[in-house]
């Protein structure tokens, strides 16, 4: 009898633990839904799009969006009345100095692929959009990547050129010294080549630790972007800013839903 009572109590406790876990997940999902609905209603949410490569040879690579699909997405943004913003405008919205209209979008590219210049730039110019390039500085000039001349051409076209570290490492796995070199070195290289201030960094793979964020701040960055999916809003930590990952396998309906609901 005693064993049966213990077994019954154990089963009850297990059931309660599972129920609490499910409830916690549901609560988090509900809070996220409410936050996005509130942001959409108030115009406080700012969609930050995260692209990588724009090319036809992506296959099943989710980081590669075809030029045709990219054009469709930019055409949809334009048709819906969106206008692109730069990081200075983004900062003013994030700080509350400016009130968003609900039609701002920050378009970003990671890694510094050459096709961002060859394929993405003409489409963006066609629709009057600008973008932000997060550059892995040691990859500049390599096969398939932007040259410094192309980087300068993007800058001349109104793009912001920001940092994505020197070699794209898993930052939290390294010592503070190595992380500092990656974070500060990328910033210094861009500022040296372009003569413009670098105020933002995108974490490679979206990975960071408390130490990583401290080093980013110490290196003089005002913002850092993650790979966490969602809208940005004024309540977010400026060193933990979310983005909307745009994958190669995403259909236009998926893109629309992501822009509308995060």
Kindly state the average pLDDT of the residues 34-46: 51
Same domain, 118 and 7: no
The range of the structural domain enclosing residue 8 comes to: 1-42
For residue range 173-223, list pLDDT tens digits in order: 999 999 999 999 999 999 999 999 999 999 999 999 999 999 999 999 999
What 8-state DSSP symbol labels residue 130?
-
Please tell me whether residues 81 and 109 are part of one structural domain.
yes
Say yes or no: 17 and 128 in one domain.
Answer: no
* CATH number of the domain where residue 136 is located: 3.20.20.370
Query: Does residue 142 share a domain with residue 29?
Result: no
Q: What is the pLDDT of residues 131-171, one digit of tens each?
A: 999 999 999 999 999 999 999 999 999 999 999 999 999 99
Which pTM value belongs to this model? 0.84
Confidence (pLDDT) at 205 = 98
| Closest to 213 (Cα-Cα) out of 172, 162, 168 | 172
Residues 15 and 119 in one domain: no
Report CA-CA distances (Å) from 100 to 30, 39, 44, 185.
Answer: 24, 10, 6, 34
Give the strand pairing for 48-51 and 104-111.
parallel
pLDDT > 90: percent of the chain: 77
Q: Which of 243, 212, 213, 214 is nearest to 226 (CA)?
A: 243
Same domain for 141 and 19: no
Tell me: do 9 and 97 sit in the same domain: no
Helices (H), 83-172: 87-95, 115, 121-126, 148-156
| 100 and 84 housed in the same domain | yes
Average pLDDT, rounded, for the chain: 88
Same-domain check for residues 74 and 159 = yes
Question: Angle of helix 252-261 relative to helix 67-79, nearest 10 degrees?
Answer: 40
Number of domains observed in the structure of the chain: 2
Measured distance CA(255)–CA(253) in Å, rounded: 5
């Amino acid at each position: 009898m005693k064993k049966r009572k213990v077994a019954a109590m154990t089963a009850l406790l297990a059931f309660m633990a599972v129920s609490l876990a499910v409830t916690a997940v549901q609560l988090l999902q509900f809070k996220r839904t409410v936050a996005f609905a509130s942001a959409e209603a108030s115009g406080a949410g700012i969609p930050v799009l995260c692209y990588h490569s724009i090319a036809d040879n992506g296959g099943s690579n989710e980081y590669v969006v075809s030029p045709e699909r990219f054009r469709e997405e930019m055409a949809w943004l334009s048709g819906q009345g969106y206008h692109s913003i730069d990081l200075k405008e983004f900062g003013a919205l994030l700080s509350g100095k400016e009130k968003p209209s609900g039609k701002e979008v920050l378009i970003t590219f990671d890694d510094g692929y050459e096709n961002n210049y060859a394929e993405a730039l003409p489409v963006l110019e066609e629709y009057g959009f600008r973008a932000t390039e997060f550059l892995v500085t040691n990859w500049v000039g390599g096969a398939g990547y932007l040259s410094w001349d192309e980087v300068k051409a993007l800058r001349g076209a109104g793009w912001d050129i920001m940092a994505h570290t020197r070699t794209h490492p898993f930052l939290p796995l390294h010592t503070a010294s190595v992380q500092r070199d990656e974070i500060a070195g990328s910033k210094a290289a861009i500022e040296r080549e372009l003569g413009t201030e670098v105020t933002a960094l995108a974490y490679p793979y979206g990975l960071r630790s408390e130490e990583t964020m401290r080093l980013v701040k110490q290196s003089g960055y005002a913002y850092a972007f993650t790979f966490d999916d969602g809208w940005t809003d004024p309540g977010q930590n400026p060193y933990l800013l979310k983005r909307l990952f745009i994958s190669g396998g995403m259909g236009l309906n998926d893109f629309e839903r992501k822009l509308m609901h995060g």
